[in-house]
Each structure stands twice: as C-alpha cells, then as structure tokens.
Structure 1
C-alpha cells in the first residue's frame, strides 16, 4: 500500500506519523508532501479561490499516479480533493470528511473548533452535506489568536490554547468536540474533560480502508 499525504504545514508530517503509529499503519507506506504556499494563498485571498482549488487538484492528481490513495490534510483546501477525485482512478480523500462522518455518527451536541479563519466555510459546508447533520446541534467555534501562535513558532502555546477551548466546549455541554485542522491534533492529549476527535486518525483510517 502507498499513501501520499499533502500537507500545508511541515509540522503535520510528525502529526500524521504519530497517528499512523496509533492505528498500526506502517510508516513506510506513507509519503509526505508539503505545499505551504497553497494555504498562504488562501489566507491572502480570504478563502479558497477557483484558481487555488484547481492548482491543488492538479497537484493531487499528479500524486495519485503512483499511489493507492491520496490524502489532503488541509481543511481549507478540502474542495480540491473532491475536484481531483472526479478524474482519478484511485481514492483522493480529504481528512476532514472522515472526521465529520465520525463526529455525526457519535454525537448530537458537537463543537467544531478551528484556528484558521478560512477553515470555517469549507468545514461548515462539509458537515452540512453529511448524513445526520440535520439531527445534530453543530456549532463552529474559532480559537482566536491560536493561529498567530502557530505561525510564530509557539506550537506548545497553540496546542494549549486549543485544549483549553476544547475543555470549555465540553463544559458547555458538547458530547463531541472536533479539532477541524490536522495541526490541532496534539491538543487532544492535553484536554481534561474529554478526548476530541482529530482528522489525522480519522483520515488515515479512511485511506487504509478506501
């Protein structure tokens, strides 16, 4: 099996390697690729434009030529995976789709946390398309200031702030807390009142079974 992962942050390589180890996926089957410029372009444009979507889709299709599955790990770029999949002979997956499906299957009071503002639109749209959305109370919560910490290199502070927001969501009545971005996954180990769902584990499970 060969799985290609496309990231927009170098630090997500370690995040996905750790997730692979947790679910017993051999590290050697995963190849990582990083295109931080794609997320940078989205932030400058205020969201995912058609041009950026097509650039990402083309890159995903190129990766699919020697893979059994391709995983896009950036929620902001998620629609590009769906576009690329239309022309691919192998599965091209967005990790947040598996995340949304898992969350809606497990809970009714769901808090979805995100750090990058451009993530909200694609993530909210994705959740709304999944079975069970109408029966659940899904709220989307921005962890203000966290992404600035991440970009400044303060990874520990970034994860601590997300974990604190997750605990507040649990205290407010959420039975499921979702960490919408792959870079947030480490915060799941820092919470006190529950264990949030993360996209690396959900997404890799989907890639293995695709």
Structure 2
C-alpha cells in the first residue's frame, strides 16, 4: 500500500486517475491535511514537523510500503523524517527536479504560492549538485492565482499559470519546473516552446516502485 499525503482534496482524483492509467492494482490510501500547508505558509515548513512525524508513524503502523508527500511546501520536511518513520518517504517533486537539471542549466521554477518557491529551488540545486551539473535557477510567482485556487476557480487558476508560462521563451530558460501538483494541467494549455515539467506522474511512479514488496 502507498499512502499519499495531500494538503488539498483536489489531488485525490488526480492520483487515482494516474494510478488507474499507469499502476493498476496499486493500493492507495489518501490522507488530506489542508491545515499543514496553511501553517507552513505562515510559520515555515519546519512548523509541521511534529504533525508529519505522527502521520508517518501512523502510516508505518498501518502497513504502508511507502509514503508520498504531494505538497511541495512540506515535502522536504516529510522526506527528512523517513529514517525515524522506518519506511520510504518520498517528495513528489524530486524526480521532476532531477529531470530538469538534465535538460539544461537555466531552470525556471514557477509557483502560485511563495511558500513553495524556496523548497523547490533548494531541491533543484540539490539535484544539480548530485548530478555534478551547473544550474542557474530563476523563479516566477504567478500573482493572483492562489486566491483563485482557494476560491475553487480551477479554470481561472490554470489560465493564469498558462499565461505566465507563455511569457517564458527559449531566451529565458532551458526548462520550466511547475512547483505544485495543482498546476500540472496548465502545461497542456500553454504554447511556450520551452519544455515544461510537472511532478504528479514521475513522482507517483517513483513512489509506486518504493512501495512495491521486495522480491
């Protein structure tokens, strides 16, 4: 069983669909804790450490093979607790970051909430160092988009992100990283010729592998 830790219920059907399409038979259990993101936005990611530790301990006790944190703002904190939890704990965006640094040194990280930018930039830089590649990370915060997300206006939310993507061209970046799972679908609407990477599909694939029973 793979436990998915979300900070918004909108992610549940997304990952159910990805499981059905690419990992049939994989047992998923979804845990949604919206308050963790709000606290991380106000007080910083470290403020949710205790709660994450309890959630991971519960997942381990329930027999989870692995835990996947789908929130970029707190994914690094969850990942760091893996040894204490006694099971694999993955952050959704790590495979995406590894792919990004392989595509070129100029990486643009695009997000709709400020709390996501710092952790994602740090992750990209970490993956670049691990690969021995140079990296120059630029950030784009899409003003006004997060308010639309909170209001439930998904069409408007993704539309603003797509507009921001279209403002990025080959002269600006080698690759764009979408820092949140909630904006992944904006890549399908954008017309930019720069490669745009999102986290849900590669992140779930990595977690599915980690959760598989050892042969």
**Structure 1 length as normaliser, TM-score?**
0.89
How far residue 93 of structure 1 moved from its aligned partner, in angstroms, is 0.3
Deviates more, 1:153-162 or 1:58-67: 58-67
Contact 2:56 2:85 in 1 (8 A): no
Secondary structure in structure 1 of the residue aligned to 2:49:
helix
Deviations 1:148-175 (A, max 9, x none): 1100111111111111111212354322
How far residue 18 of structure 1 moved from its aligned partner, in angstroms, is 3.3
Provide the residue aligned with 1:181 in structure 2. 180
Deviations 1:167-190 (A, max 9, x none): 212354322111111111111211
Provide the residue aligned with 2:82 in structure 1. 85
Provide the residue aligned with 1:59 in structure 2. 55
How far residue 52 of structure 1 moved from its aligned partner, in angstroms, is 1.4
Give the whole-Å Cα distance in 1 for the aligned partners of 2:132 and 2:163: 26
With over 3 angstroms needed to count, the CA separation of the structure-2 counterparts of 1:41 and 1:132, relative to structure 1, is: same
With over 3 angstroms needed to count, the CA separation of the structure-2 counterparts of 1:200 and 1:173, relative to structure 1, is: same
Q: Mark the structure with the bigger radius of gyration.
A: 2
Deviates more, 1:132-141 or 1:7-16: 132-141
Secondary structure in structure 1 of the residue aligned to 2:185:
helix
Deviations 1:67-125 (A, max 9, x none): 11110011111222223202233211011222211211223222110111111121222
Provide the residue aligned with 2:164 in structure 1. 165
Are 1:95 and 2:92 matched, yes or no? yes
With over 3 angstroms needed to count, the CA separation of the structure-2 counterparts of 1:35 and 1:133, relative to structure 1, is: farther
How far residue 54 of structure 1 moved from its aligned partner, in angstroms, is 2.2
Give the whole-Å Cα distance in 1 for the aligned partners of 2:32 and 2:77: 15
How far residue 205 of structure 1 moved from its aligned partner, in angstroms, is 1.5
Are 1:104 and 2:101 matched, yes or no? yes
With over 3 angstroms needed to count, the CA separation of the structure-2 counterparts of 1:5 and 1:27, relative to structure 1, is: farther
Give the whole-Å Cα distance in 2 for the aligned partners of 1:106 and 1:142: 22
Provide the residue aligned with 1:32 in structure 2. 30
Provide the residue aligned with 1:156 in structure 2. 155
Secondary structure in structure 1 of the residue aligned to 2:81:
helix
Contact 2:19 2:26 in 1 (8 A): no
Contact 2:96 2:199 in 1 (8 A): yes
- Root-mean-square deviation over aligned CA pairs: 2.0
How far residue 20 of structure 1 moved from its aligned partner, in angstroms, is 3.1
How far residue 26 of structure 1 moved from its aligned partner, in angstroms, is 2.0
5+ residue gaps, structure 1, are none
With over 3 angstroms needed to count, the CA separation of the structure-2 counterparts of 1:171 and 1:165, relative to structure 1, is: farther
5+ residue gaps, structure 2, are 211-215
